[in-house]
Amino acid sequence: MIDIKLIRENKELVKENIRKKFQDNKLKLVDEVYEMDINYRKIKTEADEARSKLNTLSKEIGNLMRDNQNEKANKVKNEVSSVKNKILELQDEEERLQAEIKKRMMMIPNIIADDVPIGEDDSKNVEEKRFGEPKVPNFEIPYHADIMASFNGIDKEAAGRVSGNGFYYLMGDIARLHSAVLAYARDFMIDKGFTYCIPPYMIHSDAVDGVMSFEEKENMMYKIEGEDLYLIGTSEHSMIAKFKDQLLKESDLPITMTSYSPCFRKEVGSHGIEERGVYRIHQFEKQEMVVICKKEDSDAWYDKMWNYSVELFRSLNIPVRKLVCCSGDLADLKYRSCDIEAWSPRQQKYFEVCSCSNLTDAQARRLAIRYKKEDGTKEYAHTLNNTVIAPPRMLIAFLENNLMEDGSVLIPKALQPYMGGKEKLEKK
């Protein structure tokens, strides 16, 4: 959520930002907020003046009663009753307008960075840099589900009978590999100075509204029937919400956390759920990184975070590239974002395995996360998040890039301690 001062002082800037994101249907929200805010401030002033008048009249009644001027005191009491009724009316209108303004402000997108590429959708995202040489071996690479099946490592058919489409059983060496990369990613981030955390997997609706846009909530989140609880789509949701309504100390910043969680997503949209593989599914596990920092530090943290992803994937022999997200591909709360994409030798193209985002103070405003500076002033914190690793999707890149012609899969040295010292997986 942006600062309403932007709309008061430069609503055309806010409108231009909406146009850059190709959301012209939201332009009217800016004018509505602008007019409502004028009315809200006018009514608030009237209410404050009425409260001041009430205090004056109450003192006057006391003085009149002290001087035994009961008749005059009773007249003033009647006026007090009228002023009280007026205050109640103004308060009701004040609260109504405040709620209407907030509802619209929650739908107005965050101001994007000046250097974000302008484009309608992810087809306009811009490749910035590649890390590692993308190779295609001189033998055929099977579909990733078939590689897993060659190790007796996946059963989508049984999962379909038990849970439906979009679920899976992982078994044996593949299940162990899945857990190994999560443990490796956890320790990788701990070594970077991040605090390890296992968060709640369900959160209240006000926390959901604080961390994501309404569109994302509708398309992603599973709600628990009969309760004010949602299953998290990523641990970022509960990690950021941990600091809801908190006033932090400047000396405590930055707060850097890495968190494990299962993730649950409806995956509503045109892309659908994969029938055979594990690229797009309803349930997966993930290691995440989250930073809460001062506003002047958030750009530097953004660069650190996506570089951590590159370093981790390269340590597993996986070539990657950084793809800068264009304006139309940014969720409403994002100031800037990039995807780290892994090389698929089978498809001979890159695909997303990490998403790093700087949300500036958009989440913090929704969740009332502030910090107190040494001079006593208070600022909204900046929040950032990035995927560390998200199997089983990242296993696609891992298996394809470490597959040998005989069907075995090499285990990089960094991962061998987490696989009981195994140097490779052998076909069953």
Block means of pLDDT (10 residues each) for the chain, length 428 residues? 94 97 97 96 91 81 73 75 86 93 95 97 96 95 94 93 91 96 98 97 93 80 93 93 96 97 78 68 93 97 98 97 97 96 96 96 96 94 96 93 96 97 91
Beta strands in 294-369 (DSSP E): 320-324, 336-344, 349-358
Q: Do domains 4-105 and 122-425 have the same CATH topology?
A: no
**pLDDT given for residue 165 in this prediction:** 87
194/256 Cα distance (integer angstroms): 5
Please tell me the pTM assigned to this model: 0.89
Write down the domain spans for the chain: 4-105, 122-425
Distances from the Cα of 250 to the Cαs of 236, 363, 378, in angstroms? Answer: 22, 18, 9
Q: 122-425 maps to which CATH number?
A: 3.30.930.10
**pLDDT given for residue 271 in this prediction:** 56
**pLDDT given for residue 279 in this prediction:** 83
Quick one: DSSP state of residue 227? S
Dig out the tokens for 144 from the structure: 């990733």
Contacts of 261 (CB under 8 A, 6+ apart): 198, 199, 201, 232, 234, 235, 238, 285, 286, 288
Spelled out in words, what is the top-level CATH class assigned to the domain 4-105?
A: mainly alpha
